[in-house]
């Protein structure tokens, strides 16, 4: 699908910003909160580019926190990788069921709707007499049996130490 798009000559119409590039940066900086980079990590924006602080998780101590300067275009490219398309919401920070206030919000909603709190479900033993199944098929309601569990992959976070060197 991308091959025909690469052959197309794209013409972008972009107006000069009314208040200048500083106003554009100020406008965009309002959208950095909890998206990709916080305002406090932005250090400078000048002719060299955008300078910001970042954390190197492989380093320890004082060398862990570093600064990086990127050209404005590269900074925007990386920033826009973290911006959600229109109509999408970050679920963990959104709505009545957001984790931070879920219990309180549901209690208030039940009170306003004059509904009692649901009673805790009773755990019934299975036909085999063992504990109730953890997983239940959502289509037929039958218990699902765990046959095998896979361990999470262990990703390499740093180059391995060379053995035998001193």
Beta strands in the chain (DSSP E): 42-46, 49-55, 65-70, 135-136, 143-144
Tokens of residue 26, six digits: 């100020």
Tell me the C-alpha distance between 166 and 150, whole Å: 38
**Distance between alpha carbon 34 and the CA centroid of its chain, in Å?**
9
User: In tens digits, what is the pLDDT along the chain, a chain of 166 residues?
Assistant: 778 888 888 887 777 767 777 777 777 666 555 567 778 889 999 999 999 999 898 888 888 999 999 999 999 888 888 777 777 666 555 567 777 778 888 888 889 999 988 887 665 555 555 666 577 888 888 888 877 777 877 776 666 666 655 5
**pTM of the entire predicted model:** 0.36
């Amino acid at each position: 699908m991308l091959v025909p798009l690469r052959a197309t000559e794209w013409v972008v119409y972009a107006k000069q910003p009314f208040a200048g590039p500083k106003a554009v940066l100020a406008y965009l900086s309002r959208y950095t909160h909890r998206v990709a980079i916080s305002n406090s990590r932005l250090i400078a924006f000048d002719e060299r580019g955008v300078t910001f602080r970042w954390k190197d998780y492989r380093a320890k101590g004082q060398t862990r926190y570093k600064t990086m300067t990127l050209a404005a275009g590269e900074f925007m490219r990386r920033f826009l990788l973290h911006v959600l398309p229109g109509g999408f919401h970050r679920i963990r920070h959104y709505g009545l069921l957001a984790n931070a206030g879920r219990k309180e919000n549901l209690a208030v909603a039940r009170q306003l709707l004059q509904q009692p709190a649901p009673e805790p479900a009773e755990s019934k033993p299975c036909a085999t007499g063992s504990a109730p199944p953890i997983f239940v098929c959502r289509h037929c309601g039958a218990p699902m049996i765990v046959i095998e569990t896979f361990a999470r992959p262990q990703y390499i976070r740093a180059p391995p130490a060379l053995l035998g060197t001193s």
